Amino acid sequence: MKKTKLVWSTVQRKVSDLLPFKHNPRKMNEKQIADLKKSIEKYNLVEIPAIDFDNHILAGHQRLAVMQLLGRGDEIIECRRPNRKLTESEAKQYLIMSNKIHGDWNEELLFDFFETDLLLDSGFSQDELTDIFSDIVDSEDDKFDTIKELEKIKKPKSKLGDLYQLGSHRLYCGDSTKFEAVQKVVGDTRIHMIYNDPVYNINLSYKSGIGGTKNYGGSAKDKRSDKEYAEFLKKTMENALAVSHTDTHVFYYCDESYVPLVAELYKELGIKFRRICLWLKGIANPTPQIAFSKVYEPCVYGTRKKPYLSPHHTNFDEVLNKEIGTGHQMIEQFMEMIDVWAVQRLAGNSYEHPTEKPVTLHDKPIKRCTKVGDNILSLFGGSGGELICSHQLKRNCYMVERDPMFVDLIIRRYEKLTGEKAIKVSA
């Protein structure tokens, strides 16, 4: 249905009858309030506030609040009012656009209540949003019980070829070694960060789960010859690079025995090897007949050209030279900058398989290497932790998962976290 064109007219209202917009993200400090008081006392109310059809304030919150502080709540003032009630999206966008040049932002309200696309359409740049949210954005464990939820999926609803929209994210049920699958999930979008956690080729049964006692119906193949595994990884890398920006970050998790292979594939495909990042899990995997227990998982990091790096995590010398008395904050800043990712893994029975990652692990590379609103490609969806973390950090995740069982699981996880329903785009 076509919306009626907005036409604004001037009306009169009592100051005390005007209602603040509940989620107004603009705030003012004491000096700004004092300055505004002086201005209104000297020049009176010059700029006319804008209100919605139901007397909710769209522009002029701070001026009207100061009028109340000055004891002028009973005064009749002029306001601009539309000929119809604004939609929720229109009200939000006007609120942002009309307030953008005044005062400071309430970062929490801006982050929690306003969609990234709406903020970008309202005049914010990605750099501005990333800067505003840098100190308040963190991922957290979503308390999703993978094993319990998998056991509920007797017969998956999803099938190969299904494409879903999950908020700003997309999920495709298909084979990521096939370019058609990767192209399908990405569409016309281009990727800023390739972040993949493929099967490790360690002869693990993803169908039976930890201990081999379950029967989830999973079908991931984790036993290939070295040649087959190399070709498998190479195809996914080629497909990912084909839909990415020229300047791209690339991350591949793998078993430690395959680090040289991944590094060699990077070189072959024009990806500059940068680091081996180590996820320090906080627990050990004892192995009989081997001298030392394994406490980490490697992630091979590389770049193509010169992709974005967060300016909030580059002052390494400054952090190192801070007084020790700054405590945990200094330690956290230091850990954000190094290639050891110390993120505690939950107890083994909370995971579907031994290489499954906690949501908070993905926080480090995502915040370091992307901006708010950037696009991340994950070609091995698994239980969907990368998508959940991307959502919490206001990035967009484009995910492929071959197994319908796990596609259903990812959808359940997203819907449980957000309360929003996944939408099937095509089948």
Sequence ranges of the chain with CATH classification 3.90.1530 = 8-124
Over the chain (427 residues), what is each successive 10-residue block's mean pLDDT?
82 94 76 86 90 90 92 94 89 76 65 79 79 77 91 94 98 98 98 96 57 52 84 98 99 96 98 95 77 89 96 55 49 67 68 73 94 97 96 97 97 97 90
The pLDDT value given to residue 57? 92
Q: Are 99 and 32 in contact (CB under 8 A)?
A: no
The pLDDT value given to residue 412? 98
Nearest to 15, CA basis, from 73, 80, 78, 79: 73
Q: Are 406 and 172 in contact (CB under 8 A)?
A: no
The pLDDT value given to residue 32? 81
For domain 146-426, the CATH architecture is 3-Layer(aba) Sandwich (3.40)
Q: Three-state SS for 135?
A: coil
Q: Are 381 and 132 in contact (CB under 8 A)?
A: no
DSSP string, 29-91: -HHHHHHHHHHHHHH---SPPEE-TTSBEEE-HHHHHHHHHTT-TT-EEEEEEESSPPPHHHH
pTM of the model: 0.73
Sequence ranges of the chain with CATH classification 3.40.50.150 = 146-426
Element (H, E) at 304: strand 294-304
The pLDDT value given to residue 320? 47
Q: Three-state SS for 15?
A: helix
The pLDDT value given to residue 417? 97
Q: Are 200 and 222 in contact (CB under 8 A)?
A: yes
Dihedral pair phi/psi, residue 13, rounded to 5°: -145, 150
Give the CB-side neighbour count of residue 288, counting CA atoms within 13 A.
0
Domain 8-124 matching CATH 3.90.1530: the answer reads yes
